[in-house]
């Protein structure tokens, strides 16, 4: 089969021929129908992944092979994948928190991912996609599950004012989910005009430049979600939050950061970090796509094949013009 792997000169990708993967016990083989390119793929390629790594964790596909001990799944099932792998028996796995298992692996990092014609996944981590979920939305189930988790962590309620810092794909997914959940006023901040325009298409009431968001915040928002991962943005989010507000942190900041604790003390803020997702985040997301509450038209700005992936991946590191780019192997 063909796959795009990290070359001998990461973060460059190259398309190579690899053996067909065989599903192990409790696993299935998948024909990948779509895999989104995530910002974390760019980070892994540049900083963590070694040559030969098959990236891609935003996976949708069709089951085409069953390993031993698989029940409840059939060949031909159309599925999205929660790309978490654990031992299956520790306290974290039993609680659905495989990301804290001592044997945790992420499909697309420690295990081959979706930038390939086929991959494997645990049968227990597949989520069937009903006919009401449009095919063009199959590969965005995973990032929308990330967004659902983030809004669950800050407990957004109908009618609440929400500020979203950053209109990349996750910020846009959070904006669209917040609207579906009945949030009141939604203000999105981003320096790029085309991303602000996308935010308005996906449910924001206002989309402003970063220098204007403080005015838009007024006396503060009950919910502020930081989606950029840039240093100093947590401090900024705390300043924008209302008294007794909740600050959600979804952006992945890999640098040491600082903030003024007084903002949190004076307003008695809750700060909730969010990474990965639970099973309920996937089921909620799929139900919302199925019944039409989520219709993120405009989010996917490009669909490419494997042959085009190495060049497009390289450009994404410095190209902010794209929304979500989907690979269809």
pTM: 0.96
**For the segment 107-144, what is each residue's pLDDT rounded down to a tens digit?**
999 999 999 999 999 999 999 999 999 999 999 999 99
- pLDDT of 268: 98
- pLDDT of 317: 80
Question: Could you tell me which residues are beta bridge partners of residue 128?
Answer: 79
> Please, are residues 172 and 198 in contact by the beta-carbon 8 Å criterion?
yes
**For the segment 10-51, what is each residue's pLDDT rounded down to a tens digit?**
999 999 999 999 999 999 999 999 999 999 999 899 988 899
- pLDDT of 323: 84
How far is Cα 78 from Cα 33, in angstroms, rounded to an integer? 9
- Give yes or no for residue 320 having a pLDDT over 90: no
Mean pLDDT, rounded, for 172-196: 97
Which of these, 18, 281, 329, lies nearest to 125 by C-alpha position?
281
How far is Cα 316 from Cα 318, in angstroms, rounded to an integer? 5
How far is Cα 220 from Cα 69, in angstroms, rounded to an integer? 53
Question: Could you tell me which residues are beta bridge partners of residue 4?
Answer: 15
- pLDDT of 318: 78
Which of these, 250, 40, 88, 96, lies nearest to 165 by C-alpha position?
250
- pLDDT of 293: 97
Q: Lowest mean pLDDT of 45-49, 71-75, 243-247, name the range.
A: 45-49
Reduced 3-state DSSP string for 211-254: HHHHHHHCCCEEEEEECCCCCCHHHHHHHHEEEEEEEEECCCCC
**What three-state secondary structure class fits 300?**
strand
CB atoms inside a 10 Å sphere around CB 23: 22
Q: Which helix (H) or strand (E) holds 63?
A: strand 58-66
What residues contact 179, with CB distance under 8 A and at least 6 apart? 186, 202, 203, 204
User: pLDDT averaged over the chain?
Assistant: 96
How many Cα atoms sit within 13 Å of 89 on the Cβ side? 0
**For the segment 194-209, what is each residue's pLDDT rounded down to a tens digit?**
999 999 999 999 999 9
Give me the percent of the chain exceeding a pLDDT of 90: 94
Instruction: Put residue 159 in one of left, alpha, beta given phi > 0 → left and psi -120 to 50 → alpha.
Output: left
How far is Cα 324 from Cα 136, in angstroms, rounded to an integer? 12
Mean pLDDT, rounded, for 218-241: 97
- pLDDT of 93: 93
What Cα–Cα distance (Å) separates residue 162 from each residue in 121, 198, 248?
36, 17, 11
Give me the percent of the chain exceeding a pLDDT of 70: 99
């Amino acid at each position: 089969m063909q796959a795009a792997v990290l070359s001998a000169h990461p973060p460059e990708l190259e398309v190579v021929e690899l053996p067909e993967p065989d599903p192990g016990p409790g696993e299935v083989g998948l024909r990948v129908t779509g895999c989104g390119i995530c910002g974390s793929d760019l980070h892994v390629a540049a900083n963590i992944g070694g040559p030969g790594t098959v990236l891609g964790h935003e996976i949708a596909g069709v089951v085409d092979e069953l390993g031993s001990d698989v029940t409840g799944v059939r060949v031909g099932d159309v599925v999205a994948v929660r790309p978490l792998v654990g031992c299956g028996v520790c306290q974290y796995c039993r609680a659905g928190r495989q990301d804290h298992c001592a044997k945790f692996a992420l499909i697309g990092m420690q295990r081959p991912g979706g930038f390939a014609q086929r991959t494997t996944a645990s049968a227990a981590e597949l989520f069937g996609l009903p006919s009401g979920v449009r095919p063009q939305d199959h590969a965005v189930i995973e990032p929308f599950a990330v967004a659902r988790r983030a809004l669950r962590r800050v407990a957004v309620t109908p009618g609440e004012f929400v500020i979203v810092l950053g209109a990349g794909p996750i910020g846009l997914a959070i904006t669209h989910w917040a609207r579906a959940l009945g949030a009141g006023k939604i203000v999105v901040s981003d320096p790029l005009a085309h991303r602000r325009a996308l935010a308005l298409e996906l449910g924001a009431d206002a989309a402003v430049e970063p220098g204007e968001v403080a005015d838009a915040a007024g006396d503060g928002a009950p919910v502020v979600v930081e989606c950029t991962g840039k240093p100093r943005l947590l401090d900024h989010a705390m300043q924008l939050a209302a008294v007794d507000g909740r600050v959600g942190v979804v952006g992945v900041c890999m640098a040491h950061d600082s903030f003024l604790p007084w903002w949190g003390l004076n307003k008695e803020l809750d700060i909730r970090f969010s990474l990965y997702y639970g099973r309920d985040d996937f089921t909620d997301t799929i139900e919302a796509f199925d019944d039409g509450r989520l219709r993120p038209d405009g989010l996917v700005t490009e669909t490419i094949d494997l042959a085009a992936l190495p060049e497009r991946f390289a450009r994404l590191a410095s190209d902010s013009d794209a929304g979500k780019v989907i690979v269809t192997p």
